[in-house]
Each structure stands twice: as structure tokens, then as C-alpha cells.
Amino acid sequence: QVQLVESGGGLVQAGGSLRLSCAASGRTFSTYNMAWFRQAPGKEREFVATFNWIGGSTIYSDSAKGRFTISRDNAENTVTLQMDSLRPEDTAIYYCAAGAWGRDPTEYAYWGQGTQVTVSS
């Protein structure tokens, strides 16, 4: 069982940066693949990035590629999403997820409560 708590959201101007963190509880955190998703008002939940615990490979959405970086610290039980060059279209609630590998949110067993990111133009 893994419990996830996100933090770090807020309001930022276009072109700015934010760093989201996801704190995980559970002794087997290091064995779970981790991911970030986001959901804007009126839209479906959208894949952002994922981190595979075996080998540390990553996958990014086309929108996130080159601007966002996902990383994890197994010693601290955290996964972070560094977001640079933010755009108004990045505005959404960002969710941390665990337990699967890939872009399909229905495959992830564990979710945080989400943190709001708002990018002003």
C-alpha cells in the first residue's frame, strides 16, 4: 500500500518554473513506478511523465518533453516534477500516481489528492 501527497503547486507567470513534489509512504516505495498526470477543467486526465524504478528510464508527453523533468529520491520517498518554461495551457491539477508503467491513468492503483498549478499569461 502506498499513500501519496503532492505539494508545490501555485500561481506562476508564463515562462516561469515550478517544482512539484510527491511524498510517498510505504515501505515498498522504491519498487513502484511513479508518474505525474494532470487534469484541466472540462478535460480528461492527461499523462505528463513517468519514471521506471528499474533502470530509471523515463517517458514524457510531447507537451512535457524538453520542459519538464521527473526524478525520484528513494531515500526520501519522493518523486518530483521540475517544470520550466511554463505556458498557460499547463494550467491544471497535477496528480502523482504509482503502481504502473505507461500513459494510461486507469492502470495506476495509487493516487494523490492533486495540487493546483495556474500559469498566467
Name the pLDDT band for 14 (thresholds 50, 70, 90): very high
Residue-wise pLDDT for 75-120, tens only, equals 888 899 999 999 999 999 999 999 888 899 999 999 999 999 999 9
User: What whole-number percentage of the chain has pLDDT above 70?
Assistant: 97
Average pLDDT on 37-51 reads: 96
Pairing of strands 10-13, 115-120: parallel
Map residue 15 onto helix, strand or coil. coil
Whole-number Å distance between alpha carbons of 91 and 89: 5
Whole-number Å distance between alpha carbons of 95 and 104: 13
Q: Provide the pLDDT for residue 67.
A: 98
Residue 29 has pLDDT above 80, yes or no: no
